[in-house]
Structure 1
Amino acid sequence: MSKQGSRLRPPPLAADSLANVGFVSKGDKKLLNYPAQKEYFDKITKRYLQFCADHKGNLDAALASLPINSSNDATSNPPAAGPSTKSSPAVKGIPSPSAELSTLLLSLRKLREAVLATSASTPVDFSQKVHYFSIRLSILAQHPPSYFPSLRYSLDKLHSTSHPFEDSEINELLSYMILDYACRQGDMGAAFDLRARARKEHKFHSQTVDQVLTALMNDNWIAFWRVRKGVDSYVRAVMNWAVDRVRRHALKAVGSAYLNVHVSWIVGGCTGDDGDWTWDKLVETEKLGWQKEGDNVIIRRPKPRPPPQAAHAHAQMSASVS
C-alpha cells in the first residue's frame, strides 16, 4: 500500500516559479485566466530586469549567449543552455546567462500561448503588451522562432482600428519585420513589398530602413556599417543577421580591386569596426590567403616585368614571325 501511495504521490514542484507553469497545449490550466496571466507576466519582467542587473558588466554578451540555432521553425523552443563552466556566473550563485535567457523565452512562449487560448476574455491591450515585450527581448536574444511569429501576429491580428498599437510601436514593429526579411532571410522582394504596403496602410516611414535596403541592394558595405553604428540595440540585432555576408562581400570586392592595403583598413573597414576583430581572427574565420608584411596586407603581387633587353628581343621575334 505504501509503495502504491509513493507511486501516486505527485512529484515535488520545481523551485523556479516560472518553470512551475506549463503549456496550455499540454493540458496546463494555470494561465487560463487574466489575473494569473498578469501575475506571470510581472514575474517575467522582474526576472528580466534582474537578468540585466546580474550581467550589466557585459549585457550584450549575455544576450548573445544562447547556443546557435539556425532553425526557423516557429514552434521550436529556445535552445537549452549548455553546461556551465568554471567562469560561468552560476558559480557565483547567478544562473548562467544562457540558462536564464532560455527560461525567459520559454516562459514568454507559455504566456503567449495562454493569451491566444483566452483571446475572447483577455484584454487586447494586455496581449499587445505581452507580444511587444516578447518581440523586443527575443530580437536582442536573436531567437527568430520567438520573435518572427509574434511580429506577424501583432501586425495582422492585434493591431486594428478598434485596438491600435501606438504609432511609434507600429512603426517599430514594421521596421523589425522589413529588416528581418532583408537581413536574416535575404528576401529583398518580401522586404520591399512589405515596405510598400506599410507606407500605404500605416503611413510608414523610416530613413534607417530605406538606407539599409539601399545598402544591401547596392552591395554598399560602407553605408551598411555606417547605418549600423547609429541605430539602437534592437535594430542593430536584426541587422546583425546580415553582417557575415556584408563582410564577405567587402573582402571579395577589396580582393578584386587592390594589390595591397593597410591592415587597419581591412580589419576595420570590412568588418564595420567591430572591436572583437583582429587580423588573425579574420584570416582564420574567412580562410584568407593574403600575406601580411608589417602593416600592409599583400593581396596579390604584380607580375614582374621582363628586363628591357628581353622585352626588345621578344618584340623583334614577334615582328619576324609576323
Structure 2
Amino acid sequence: MADSTRRGNASRSRLKPIQDPLDSVGFVSKGDRKLLDHKSQELYFDKIVERYLSFCAHHSKDLDAAWASLPTSSSSDVTKNPPGSTTSPKQRGPSATDELSKILLSLRKLREALLATASTTPISFSQRVHIFSIRLSILAQHPPSYFPSLRYLIENLHSPSHPLSVSELKEFTSYLILDYACRQDDMVAAFDLRARARLKHAFKSETIDRALGALMHDNWIVFWRVRNNVDSYMRAVMNLAVDRIRRHALKAVGSAYLGVDAKWILEGCTGDRDWTWEQLVEREGIGWLKEGDKVIIKKPRPKTEKNPEPAKENGQLRVSHS
C-alpha cells in the first residue's frame, strides 16, 4: 500500500508543471521580498540575460519580426497586462510575443527592486541593468520600459562619482532626444534637452542635429536619409515617427503634383524600398489612380473654348476693315 502511495505521489510530481525561473519572483510593490538583496538581484539578472540570448537564437531567422511582435497600441503595456499565451500546437516553444513580454516584465520587476534598494545596491550594477533594459526595450519599441529608464539613468544614475562613459552618455542622451521628437512629437522638449546636454556634457551629434532639422522643416527626404544611416537602436526610436512622416509626405505630394512616378512615391514618401503600391493604398487609403509606372494624382480639367465676345466702342459694335 505504501509503495502504491509513493508511486502515485511520484506520478503527480512528474506531472506537476515546472515553474519558469523568471516567474519565481514578483513585484516588490506587491509584497514580494525575493529581490531585496544584491546577490538575488544578480542571479535574477543573469537569468534574464540568458533568456534574452535564447530569444535571439530561437528567432535568429527573422529577428526583426520577433522584435516587432508586441502590440503597438499606445494603451498596451505588456509589463502591466501581459498577453495570453499564443503558442500553437505546431510551434516549438513560446511565441516571440510571449517570450519578449516575459523578458520585459522580468526587467520591470528587477528595476523596481533596484529602486527599493537604491541605498545599498552598487550603482554600477544598477547602471548595467538599466543600460541592458533600455537597449532591449528600444529594439522591442516598448516606450513604457525604456523612457522612464532613460531618464533615471541620465538624471540619477549618472553622477560625478559614478559617471557613464562619454560614449554611453552620448548614446542614451541621443535616444532620449529622439524619443521626445519622434514618438512624443515634442520638439520643444527635444531642443531643450539638446541645449542642456550641450551645456552640461558638451554633447554633440550631427545625426541628432540633422534629424531634428528634418522634423522641424518637414523634410521627409532628409529624415529618411538619416534614419537609413543610423544603427538599429536609433532607427527603432526614429521608426516611431515614420507613420507621421509618411502621411505628411503623401499629403505634400498630393497637393503639389498632378502625376508622378510610382517608384518615386514608394521610395520617397515611405523611405523604404520594400513597400508595394497595394500595401500603401491599403495602409493609407489612397484614392490615386495607378497607370503602369505612373500615378495620376489629379486629372487636369478639360479646357472649354469660349466664343470671344465682339468688341464694342461707345456701345456700338466695332467692325474692323481689312
Q: TM-score, normalised by structure 1?
A: 0.88
Measured in 2, the distance between the counterparts of 1:251 and 1:319 equals 50
- Report runs of 4+ in structure 1 exceeding 3 Å deviation: 317-322
Q: Aligned pairs, how many?
A: 300
> RMSD of the TM alignment (CA)?
2.1
Query: Is it true that 1:37 corresponds to 2:36 in the alignment?
Result: no
Q: Is the 8 A contact 1:13 1:20 kept in 2?
A: no
Measured in 1, the distance between the counterparts of 2:247 and 2:98 equals 32
Query: Is it true that 1:316 corresponds to 2:302 in the alignment?
Result: no
Measured in 2, the distance between the counterparts of 1:318 and 1:186 equals 60
Measured in 1, the distance between the counterparts of 2:83 and 2:222 equals 36
Measured in 1, the distance between the counterparts of 2:21 and 2:85 equals 22
Deviation at 1:317, TM superposition (A): 5.9
Residue 286 of structure 2 corresponds to which residue in structure 1? 288
Q: Is the 8 A contact 1:23 1:114 kept in 2?
A: yes
Task: Identify the range of structure 1 (60-69 vs 177-186) with the bigger mean alpha-carbon deviation.
Answer: 60-69
Q: 2:54 aligns with which of 37, 50, 53?
A: 50
Task: Identify the range of structure 1 (196-205 vs 60-69) with the bigger mean alpha-carbon deviation.
Answer: 60-69
Q: Is the 8 A contact 2:86 2:94 kept in 1?
A: no
**Cα 1:41/1:194, change in 2 over 3 Å:** same
Residue 3 of structure 1 corresponds to which residue in structure 2? none
Q: Is the 8 A contact 2:85 2:98 kept in 1?
A: no
Measured in 1, the distance between the counterparts of 2:273 and 2:95 equals 25
Query: Is it true that 1:65 corresponds to 2:69 in the alignment?
Result: yes
Aligned ranges for residues 163-178 of structure 1 at < 5 Å? 163-178=162-177
Q: TM-score, normalised by structure 2?
A: 0.88
Measured in 2, the distance between the counterparts of 1:145 and 1:159 equals 21
Deviation at 1:233, TM superposition (A): 0.6
Residue 269 of structure 1 corresponds to which residue in structure 2? 268
Deviation at 1:41, TM superposition (A): 0.5
Measured in 1, the distance between the counterparts of 2:81 and 2:68 equals 12
Deviation at 1:14, TM superposition (A): 5.6
Query: Is it true that 1:301 corresponds to 2:299 in the alignment?
Result: yes
* Unpaired stretches in structure 2, ≥5 consecutive residues: 1-15, 317-322
Measured in 2, the distance between the counterparts of 1:316 and 1:164 equals 84
Deviation at 1:224, TM superposition (A): 0.4
AA aligned opposite 2:296: I
Q: Is the 8 A contact 1:67 1:82 kept in 2?
A: no
Deviation at 1:280, TM superposition (A): 1.0
Residue 147 of structure 1 corresponds to which residue in structure 2? 146
AA aligned opposite 2:309: Q
Measured in 2, the distance between the counterparts of 1:221 and 1:253 equals 10
Residue 159 of structure 1 corresponds to which residue in structure 2? 158
Measured in 1, the distance between the counterparts of 2:185 and 2:243 equals 12
**Cα 1:62/1:281, change in 2 over 3 Å:** same
* Unpaired stretches in structure 1, ≥5 consecutive residues: 1-11
Q: Is the 8 A contact 1:66 1:79 kept in 2?
A: no
**Cα 1:244/1:82, change in 2 over 3 Å:** farther
Query: Is it true that 1:244 corresponds to 2:243 in the alignment?
Result: yes
Deviation at 1:15, TM superposition (A): 1.6
Deviation at 1:318, TM superposition (A): 8.4
AA aligned opposite 2:50: K
SS of residue matched to 1:31: coil
SS of residue matched to 2:161: coil
Instruction: Give deviations 1:246-298, integer Å, cap 9, x for gaps.
Output: 001111111111111111111111100241x2111111111111101111100
Q: Is the 8 A contact 1:82 1:98 kept in 2?
A: no
Instruction: Give deviations 1:50-79, integer Å, cap 9, x for gaps.
Output: 100001111111011011230398xx7255
AA aligned opposite 1:295: D
**Cα 1:85/1:25, change in 2 over 3 Å:** closer
**Cα 1:237/1:317, change in 2 over 3 Å:** farther
Deviation at 1:93, TM superposition (A): 2.2
SS of residue matched to 1:18: helix
Query: Is it true that 1:119 corresponds to 2:118 in the alignment?
Result: yes
Deviation at 1:121, TM superposition (A): 1.1
Instruction: Give deviations 1:57-114, integer Å, cap 9, x for gaps.
Output: 11111011011230398xx72552355365xxx7342210000000000000000011
SS of residue matched to 2:295: strand
**Cα 1:292/1:316, change in 2 over 3 Å:** same
Residue 129 of structure 1 corresponds to which residue in structure 2? 128
Measured in 1, the distance between the counterparts of 2:198 and 2:129 equals 26
Deviation at 1:119, TM superposition (A): 1.0
Instruction: Give deviations 1:225-264, integer Å, cap 9, x for gaps.
Output: 0111111110001001110010011111111111111111
